[in-house]
């Protein structure tokens, strides 16, 4: 624990929290020097509160005022809201420095809150999907609704204009699908007077028209070899890449793996997939060895149950984006064009195909709900396709 309080010149309402705050930071993996800087920031905030007669629970709503003072007197570091986040989070967990009272919800917020509840409770969609759909809905209401959230004046032309404009900047499928679902909800909820969902144009899509983007086996080996297993970060990255290329997991599934999901005695791995689906997969020896090496020699102790965590404080679980970042960094080290984690899922399927597995078996490992989803890999089975291809007719 950081105990050099003489440097902090601690006075004011936050003094009682110094010891607990520093201990909390240490438990989250912050280095001693970083802990010291955070405590010094706490001390400055405490003195500022004391000088102005403010209470500890007023810090959150006056954070910007405090940071402005730091900038004015010449501080060039620890002057952003992000720098204050650990302190405010800690104080909030102790019932102190509650965040400012929320702004009163507007009628538009009420409409979107009802829509969000519908997506979660009635449709059972994943949180990220709900967030994406609500963003589309909010953009549409902001452009074509009024302050009461009333959309009764919206026309089919408004819908077409919105789709045409936003599809230029965003994923067309996401915009069209999100808007279509929202307009259906609006009709049921009485927000619109008629059905406008049919006015949303269909996005052109030719299913199975493209080839899965895969890496050659030698490139996969280069990715694995680029991870220095003698370091903690390298051991983690090697385990992540190994899981991706051997089991074909999605980035989010790797990020969600928990210590209890690894059944070492039974040789199985529990995977939480899309749509709250839970499956058990065999744990290959090399995958188990890579995970075990990371857990034994690299993973720092922390309160989170996730297998893969960040290496810099705060020690929180690695996100799905972080998993893809690991793959892209490995590509750079190996001198390859950067690809995301999903390319390794395709590469795993391609390797199984080369090893003699059929599409049904590949679909089981990848946990596809429909065999038609796996059928795209038939297009890269050149050995089988060459046996059924008809000879080119002579001129």
Show the tokens assigned to 255: 């990020």
Radius of gyration of the chain (CA): 27
CA–CA dist 358, 345 (Å, integer): 16
Element (H, E) at 278: strand 278-282
Residue 333 designated active-site: no
Strand-by-strand arrangement of the 268-272 sheet? 262-263, 268-272, 278-282
Helices (H) and strands (E) in the chain, counts: 17, 3
CA–CA dist 380, 15 (Å, integer): 65
Element (H, E) at 269: strand 268-272
* Widest distance between CA atoms in the chain: 94
Residue 274 designated active-site: yes
Residue 368 designated active-site: yes
**CB-CB neighbours of 29 under 10 Å:** 18
Long-range Cβ contact pairs of 321-325 (< 8 A, separation 24 or more): 321/251, 322/255, 323/240, 323/244, 323/251, 323/252, 323/254, 323/255, 324/251
Residue 345 designated active-site: yes
3-state secondary structure of 149: coil
**CB-CB neighbours of 378 under 10 Å:** 14
How wide is the angle at C-alpha 164 spanned by C-alphas 159 and 167, nearest 5°? Answer: 115
In the set 55, 274, 280, 379, the catalytic residue is: 274
Residue 265 designated active-site: no
In the set 38, 246, 250, 343, the catalytic residue is: 250
In the set 236, 299, 345, 346, the catalytic residue is: 345
Cis-peptide, bond into residue 314, ω within 30° of zero: yes
Question: Catalytic site residues?
Answer: 250, 274, 342, 345, 368, 377
């Amino acid at each position: 624990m950081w105990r050099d309080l003489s440097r902090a010149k601690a006075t004011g309402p936050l003094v009682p929290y110094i010891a607990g705050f520093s201990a909390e930071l240490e438990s989250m993996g912050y280095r001693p020097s970083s802990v010291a800087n955070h405590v010094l920031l706490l001390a400055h905030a405490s003195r500022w509160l004391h000088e102005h007669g403010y209470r500890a629970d007023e810090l959150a709503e006056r954070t910007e005022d405090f940071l402005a003072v730091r900038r004015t007197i010449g501080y060039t570091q620890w002057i952003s809201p992000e720098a204050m986040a650990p302190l405010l989070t800690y104080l909030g967990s102790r019932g102190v420095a509650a965040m400012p009272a929320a702004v009163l919800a507007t009628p538009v917020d009420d409409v979107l809150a009802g829509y969000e509840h519908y997506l979660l409770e009635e449709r059972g969609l994943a949180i990220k999907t709900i967030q994406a759909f609500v963003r589309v809905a909010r953009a549409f209401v902001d452009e074509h609704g009024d302050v009461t959230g009333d959309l009764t004046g919206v026309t089919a032309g408004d819908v077409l204009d919105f789709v045409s404009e936003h599809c230029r900047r965003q994923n067309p499928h996401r915009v069209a699908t999100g808007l279509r679902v929202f307009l259906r909800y609006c009709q049921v909820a009485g927000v619109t007077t008629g059905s406008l969902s049919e006015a949303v144009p269909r996005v052109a899509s030719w299913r199975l028209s493209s080839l899965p983007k895969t890496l050659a086996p030698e490139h996969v080996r280069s990715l694995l070899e680029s991870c220095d297993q003698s370091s903690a970060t390298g051991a983690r990255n090697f385990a992540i890449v190994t899981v991706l290329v051997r089991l074909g997991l999605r980035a989010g599934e790797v990020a969600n793996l928990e210590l209890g999901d690894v059944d070492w005695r039974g040789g199985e791995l529990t995977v939480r997939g899309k749509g709250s689906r839970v499956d058990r997969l065999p744990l290959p020896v090399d995958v188990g060895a890579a995970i075990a090496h990371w857990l034994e020699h690299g993973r720092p102790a922390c309160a989170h149950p996730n297998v893969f965590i960040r290496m810099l404080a705060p020690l929180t679980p690695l996100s799905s984006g972080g998993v893809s970042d690991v793959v892209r960094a490995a590509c750079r080290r190996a001198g390859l064009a950067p690809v995301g984690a999903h390319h390794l899922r395709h590469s795993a399927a391609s390797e199984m195909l080369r090893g003699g597995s059929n599409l049904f078996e590949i679909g089981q490992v990848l946990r596809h709900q429909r065999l038609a989803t796996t059928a795209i890999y038939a297009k890269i089975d050149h050995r089988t396709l060459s046996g059924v291809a008809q000879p080119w007719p002579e001129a």
